[in-house]
């Protein structure tokens, strides 16, 4: 293989560094207008009157639009169709959109927003998981009992499991919000076309979701809605479903006024009103034999979904599937609930419902190891999934399980043998400790992903040997376009330099599902291979005709033509030229359907995902025992995501994700007062800066997956998820202070120390 496992330079590196990459706010269209949003002031209320008169009189205002002006349906289509684009009659969270104000200039639009007068009756609201469970206010959402979704796993007999356990214990855990903090805020430009079609440009993960959203809102058929992806400055799940809303805000005025409309959020608005990682409350009970075998797991957990269900059902389901951790256990009983509150709707965030349960599960394992007098490594060694084992949902694993390897590599990477010393032996003000966590993660959308589990690709080879590739999953900073160029080059036998990955355009590729769930490399990668194979067939035929050698004896590698390892005088370009002269078809459509999965809602058992990635994280911290300040010194992440296509970029993904996970674990905290976030900016919502970044050691554990493109699996989300418990377990090892809540701020650690 010539380009698989090669760290070629990112194809967008130069444009990102020199600033020539064009983000949505850099675009301008002739006679473009600007939209700003008028929003609900309190968590729940009934609109009595909306007085637009003062705003409408302001010079430069081009229109103000409310629910009744929406030409199509007033819905944001995600899983359920319960969320309106603009609140009509009632609003259900502070910051919910009520009107779109459009002007010649964004400042005038903002001024217009400030002139709107809303007369409303405040309705009783629910702001916390506890109140939602207790139904302090009944029926705040479209589903009964304030519960959007409930999923369960019933495997074996957990009561018997606990009875036969030598030790068992239950703990409660809490996790907070996390903001995506992508550098580029949400933004879209809707451009109406003369023939009553619309083109929408913008920053997003899922162009096909946006296409559906704009189609609903405008009433245009899908064929008349074209979405073009622009360079996207980070997403992390925050641009999965939300961009459909932003596109709606731009499209409604665009089609009514017949002018291009730009809608770009400012940072505070973005933090206050768009999706977050779900806060969680988790009750976790585990039982073990004396020897350390996991015999029973019982979990009950709740996610704060916010006011609308958005992606919550599938986030919750993913949390359910992973809640028992990467361990073989015969008796499992899990109930997962997503409850409604009058707060911002939560949604997708790198890890999609699993970092919360991993935090609980991996803290349980740490507590158990101490109770059992086993090292956390040994306890995991006894229980982790290996080839031949069955996951918590009874998925028999027959290949590509690199967890055991990763366990030992991560332990060695942090020098566990020498550094793991019980907290009781530590003295002094600054105390060091190490911690570990292990996890598995289903690649792709899984059994609940329905018909979205497919992807397309389109390849066209031009006469001069240059190649265009159109795909349906987006580059948002993770490097997928570079991976796609490598995969194309490998499959066709050309150089990646000759491959251009086109901006995603829904008119060019079939609906390929969302760019989420660490699925792009496997899904689009396989679609590219499928497309390339069709062209390769002609290239080999052409090469054979030109050289007189049999097709089977010919290899195309990096633009060269070889037989039996010897380079022929003809090149890739000669072959292409010949194929053109022969009128061979060097254009193709590729398609890939995900390998099969299964699921039974009554038992919660099945092959939930077609394949899993595996990670072990280790952390070393130094804790100031007096102030509770935690300095993370070292983070090691050993990850099995199959064959790395571009190892350097994979390491970059790991480094970034690990730091994001560290922020989640010990720093990032959204504060709200009466249901309104009060720190919606980067000076108050603190994420790690480069000064806080410890030494990060990425380790690639390559356990190939036979159905992946060149044996690759998925990586995108893996690095973030298990970092928080590795750090909090290290805090315990340093200090003897057990943290059951994240973020583990110094204030919490000191409070916990006193208890």
* Strand extents, DSSP E, 599-688: 612-624, 630-640, 672-673, 676-677
Q: Which stretch binds other proteins (CB under 8 A): 6-14, 317-325, 537-545, 745-753?
A: 745-753
Q: Contact between 629 and other proteins (CB under 8 A)?
A: yes
Nearest to other proteins of 551, 747 (CB atom): 747
> What is the C-alpha to C-alpha distance for residues 554 and 559, in angstroms, rounded to an integer?
13
Nearer to other proteins, 227 or 745 (CB): 745
Token pair 């996951």 is found at 391
Does position 54 interact with other proteins (CB under 8 A)? The reply is no
CA dihedral (663, 358, 438, 4) in degrees, to 10, reads -70
- Shortest CB 746 distance to other proteins, Å: 7
- Residue 747 interacts with other proteins (CB under 8 A): yes or no: yes
Taking the C-alpha atoms of residue 463 and residue 139, their distance in angstroms, rounded to an integer, is 63
Per CB under 8 A, the segment of 48-56, 299-307, 639-647, 676-684 that binds other proteins is 676-684
Q: Is 691 in the site for other proteins (CB under 8 A)?
A: yes
58 makes contact with other proteins (CB under 8 A): no
Q: Decide whether 2 or 679 has the Cβ nearer to other proteins.
A: 679
528 touches 512 (CB < 8 A): no
Could you give the CA distance from residue 488 to residue 710 in angstroms, rounded to a whole number?
12
Residue closer to other proteins (CB basis): 111 or 212:
111
Angle at 71 between CA 70 and CA 75, to 5 degrees: 55
CB closer to other proteins out of 290 and 751: 751
For 460-523, give the DSSP string.
EE-TTS-EEEEESS--SSS-HHHHHHHHHHHHHTS-GGGEEEPPPBTTTS-----S-TT-HHHH
Segment 80 to 139, residues that bind other proteins, using CB under 8 A: 107
Give the binding range for other proteins (CB under 8 A) out of 187-195, 465-473, 582-590, 624-632: 624-632
Cα atoms in the Cβ-side hemisphere of radius 13 Å centred on 711: 14
Least CB distance to other proteins at residue 235 (A): 23
Residue 710 buriedness (CB in 10 A; 0-12 / 13-18 / 19+): buried
List, as one string, the DSSP characters of 67-103: GGG-SS-S---SSS----SS-BSEE-STT-EEEEEEE
Binding mask 384-423 for other proteins (x = CB under 8 A): ----------------------------------------
CA distance 295 to 286: 8
Under rule CB under 8 A, residue 684 binds other proteins: yes
CB of 123 to other proteins, least distance (A): 27
Among 257, 557, 633, 750, contact with other proteins (rule: CB under 8 A): 750
DSSP H helices, 699-744, are 718-721, 723-735
Q: Binding residue for other proteins (CB under 8 A) from 510, 688, 704, 736?
A: 688
Instruction: Give me the least distance between CB of 208 and other proteins, in Å please.
Output: 35
Whether residue 52 has a cis bond before it, omega within 30° of 0:
no
- Nearest residue (CB) to other proteins, 91 versus 685: 685
Cα–Cα distance between 653 and 650 in angstroms, integer? 5
Residue 469: closest CA among 507, 504, 443: 504
| Beta-bridge partner residues of 476 | none
Piece in contact with other proteins (CB under 8 A), picked from 54-62, 367-375, 533-541, 739-747: 739-747
**How far is residue 99's CA from residue 253's CA, in Å, rounded to a whole number?**
11
Interaction between residue 674 and other proteins (CB under 8 A):
no
Nearer to other proteins, 18 or 683 (CB): 683
Interface with other proteins (CB under 8 A), residue from 171, 505, 577, 692:
692
Q: How far apart are CA 697 and CA 701, in angstroms?
A: 13
Three-state DSSP at 8 gives coil
Q: Where does 168-241 have alpha helices with state H?
A: 207-218
In the complex, the smallest distance separating the C-beta of residue 685 from other proteins, rounded to whole angstroms, is 9
Angle 300-309-681 (CA atoms, 0-180°, nearest 5)?
A: 95
Nearest to other proteins of 542, 656 (CB atom): 656
Cβ of 553: how many Cβ atoms within 10 Å? 13
Site residue total, other proteins (CB under 8 A): 23
By CB under 8 A, residue 183 contacts other proteins: no
Distance in Å, CB of 114 to other proteins, minimum: 9
- The alpha carbon dihedral of 701, 703, 704, 705 has a sign of negative
Other beta carbons less than 10 A from residue 652's beta carbon: 18
Nearest distance in Å: CB 674, other proteins: 14
CA distance 253 to 35: 8
Under rule CB under 8 A, residue 689 binds other proteins = yes
- Name which of 438, 433, 389, 431 is nearest 410 in CA terms: 438
Among the listed residues 679, 704, 738, 752, the single contact to other proteins using CB under 8 A: 679
* Residues β-bridged to residue 299: 284, 334
Closer of 589 and 679 to other proteins (Cβ): 679
Of 14, 553, 678, 695, which one interacts with other proteins (CB under 8 A)? 678
Q: Indicate the residue among 105 and 600 with the shorter CB distance to other proteins.
A: 105
Q: In the bound complex, what is the minimum distance in angstroms from residue 628's beta carbon to other proteins?
A: 8
Which residue, 113 or 522, has its beta carbon nearer to other proteins?
Answer: 113
Residue from 16, 627, 674, 695 touching other proteins (CB under 8 A): that is: 627
Candidate ranges 295-303, 511-519, 601-609, 680-688; the one touching other proteins (CB under 8 A): 680-688
Contact letters (x/-) for other proteins, 259-278, by CB under 8 A?
---------x----------
Identify which range of 182-190, 472-480, 543-551, 675-683 contacts other proteins by CB under 8 A.
675-683
Instruction: Pick the binder of other proteins from 163, 290, 430, 751 (CB under 8 A).
Output: 751
Are 436 and 603 in contact by the 8 Å Cβ rule? The answer is: no
Query: Least distance to other proteins from the beta carbon of 617, Å?
Result: 21
- Give the nearest distance from C-beta 106 to other proteins in angstroms: 9
Q: Which residue among 46, 671, 674, 695 contacts other proteins (CB under 8 A)?
A: 671
Identify residues 630-669 at the interface with other proteins (CB under 8 A): 667
Residues near other proteins (CB under 8 A) are 107, 268, 626-629, 667, 671, 678-679, 683-684, 686, 688-692, 745-747, 750-751
């Amino acid at each position: 293989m010539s380009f698989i496992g090669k760290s070629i330079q990112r194809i967008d590196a130069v444009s990102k560094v020199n600033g020539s990459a064009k983000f949505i706010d850099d675009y301008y269209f002739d006679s473009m207008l600007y939209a700003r949003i008028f929003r609900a002031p309190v968590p729940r209320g009934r609109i009595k009157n909306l007085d637009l008169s003062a705003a409408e009189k302001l010079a430069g205002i081009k229109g103000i639009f409310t629910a009744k002006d929406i030409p199509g349906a007033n819905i944001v289509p995600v899983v359920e169709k319960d969320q309106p684009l603009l609140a009509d009659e009632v609003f259900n969270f502070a910051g919910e959109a009520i009107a779109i104000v459009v002007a010649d200039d964004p400042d005038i639009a903002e001024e217009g927003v400030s002139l709107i007068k809303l007369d409303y009756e405040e309705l009783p609201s629910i702001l916390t998981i506890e109140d939602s469970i207790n139904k302090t206010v009944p029926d705040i959402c479209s589903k009964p009992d304030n519960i959007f979704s409930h999923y369960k796993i019933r495997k074996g007999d957990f009561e018997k499991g606990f009875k036969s356990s030598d030790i068992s214990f239950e703990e409660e855990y809490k996790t907070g919000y996390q903001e995506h903090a992508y550098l580029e805020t949400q933004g879209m430009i809707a451009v109406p076309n003369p023939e009553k079609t619309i083109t929408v440009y913008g920053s997003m993960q899922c162009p096909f979701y946006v296409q559906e959203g704009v189609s609903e809102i405008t009433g245009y058929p899908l064929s008349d809605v074209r979405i073009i992806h622009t360079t996207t400055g980070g997403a992390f799940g925050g641009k999965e479903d939300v961009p459909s809303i932003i596109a709606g805000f731009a499209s409604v005025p665009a089609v009514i006024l017949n002018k291009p409309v730009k809608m770009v959020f400012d940072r505070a608005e973005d933090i206050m009103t768009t999706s977050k990682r779900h806060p969680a409350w988790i009750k976790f009970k585990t039982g073990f034999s004396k020897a350390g075998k996991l015999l029973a797991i019982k979990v009950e957990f709740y996610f704060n979904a916010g006011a609308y269900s958005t992606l919550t059902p599938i986030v919750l389901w993913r949390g359910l599937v992973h809640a028992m951790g990467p361990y073989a256990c015969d008796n499992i009983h899990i109930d997962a609930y997503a409850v409604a509150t009058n707060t911002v709707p939560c949604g997708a965030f790198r890890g999609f419902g699993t970092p919360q349960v991993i935090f609980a599960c991996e803290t349980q394992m740490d507590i158990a190891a101490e109770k059992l007098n086993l090292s956390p490594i040994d306890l995991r060694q006894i229980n982790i999934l290996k080839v031949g084992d069955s996951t918590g949902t009874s998925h028999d694993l027959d290949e590509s399980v690199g967890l055991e390897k990763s366990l030992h590599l991560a332990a060695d990477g942090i020098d566990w043998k020498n550094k793991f010393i019980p907290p009781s032996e530590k003295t002094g003000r600054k105390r060091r400790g190490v911690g570990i966590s292990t996890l598995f993660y289903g690649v792709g959308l899984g059994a609940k992903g329905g018909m979205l589990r497919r992807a397309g690709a389109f390849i066209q080879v031009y006469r001069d040997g240059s190649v265009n590739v159109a795909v349906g999953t987006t580059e948002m900073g993770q490097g997928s376009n570079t991976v796609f160029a490598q995969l194309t080059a490998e499959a066709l036998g050309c150089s990646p330099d000759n491959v251009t990955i086109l901006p995603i355009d829904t008119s060019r590729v079939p609906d390929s599902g969302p760019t989420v769930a660490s699925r792009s490399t496997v899904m689009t990668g396989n679609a590219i291979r499928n497309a390339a194979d069709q062209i390769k067939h002609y290239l080999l035929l052409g090469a054979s005709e030109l050289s007189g050698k049999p097709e089977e004896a010919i290899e195309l590698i990096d633009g060269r033509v070889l037989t039996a390892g010897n380079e022929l005088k003809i090149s890739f370009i000669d072959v292409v030229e010949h194929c053109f002269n022969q009128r061979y078809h060097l254009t193709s459509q590729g398609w890939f359907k995900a390998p099969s999965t299964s699921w039974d809602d009554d038992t919660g058992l099945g092959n939930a995902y077609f394949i899993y990635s595996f990670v072990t994280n280790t952390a070393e911290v130094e804790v100031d025992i007096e102030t509770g300040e935690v300095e993370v010194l070292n983070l090691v992440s050993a990850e099995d995501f199959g064959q790395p296509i571009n190892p350097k970029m994979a390491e970059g993904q790991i480094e970034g994700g690990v730091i994001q996970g560290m922020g989640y674990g010990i720093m990032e905290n959204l504060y709200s007062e009466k249901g309104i976030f009060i720190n919606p900016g980067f000076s108050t919502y603190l994420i790690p800066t480069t000064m806080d970044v410890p030494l990060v050691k990425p380790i690639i554990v390559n356990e190939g997956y036979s159905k992946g493109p060149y044996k690759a699996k998925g990586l995108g989300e893996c690095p973030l998820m298990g970092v928080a418990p590795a750090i909090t377990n290290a805090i315990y090892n340093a200090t003897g202070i057990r943290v059951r809540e994240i973020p583990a701020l110094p204030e919490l650690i000191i409070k916990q120390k006193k208890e």
